[in-house]
Amino acid sequence: MINHIMLGSNDIERSKRFYDAVLGVLGAGEPMRNIGPTGKTRLFYRHDGSTFCLTEPLDGQPATAGNGGTIGFKCSSPEQVLQFHDVAVAHGGTSIEDPPGLRSGKMGSMHLAYVRDPDGHKLCALFRV
């Protein structure tokens, strides 16, 4: 259903360092770099049929994180959830909500970890049991 997700960044090179490390945990490689006619840089990470993009805002205004929004990344194990979290924090992210671990509820059981990237975007690493 979803083709891609694009987030704005106020420091594209800082974001690249963060996402190179974090998405590397999931198996994504080096992003494709595109510099558009306006001179703004975009990065496109492609992996397993999905595309995750970062951009300097084309309108020249600061990038802001959406309140209430979360980007969820599917992990292959509970260990990968923890690694995603730890790599994110080691590369400038901030751990938020409960510590990484198993949660059970109406949606079933899953391992979750939540972080904010350096621009404040909320990310979730998830493995369904």
pLDDT tens-digit profile of 68-103? Answer: 899 999 999 999 999 999 999 999 999 999 999 999
C-alpha triplet 52, 12, 7: angle, nearest 5°: 35
List the chain domain ranges: 4-58+65-128
Whole-angstrom distance, CA of residue 25 vs CA of residue 80: 7
Does the structure show a pLDDT above 80 at 1?
no
Q: What is the pLDDT of residue 105?
A: 85
Overall average pLDDT of the 108-123 stretch? 96
3-state helix, strand, coil in the chain (%, to 5): 20, 40, 35
pLDDT number for residue 37: 87
Whole-Å CA distances, 71 to 39, 65, 74, 122: 27, 11, 10, 6
pTM for the predicted model, two decimal places: 0.93
Q: Exposure string (b/e) for 60-91, b if CB count within 10 Å is 16 or more? A: eeebeeeeeeeeebebeebebbbbbbbbbeeb
The CATH-assigned architecture of domain 4-58+65-128 is Roll (3.10)
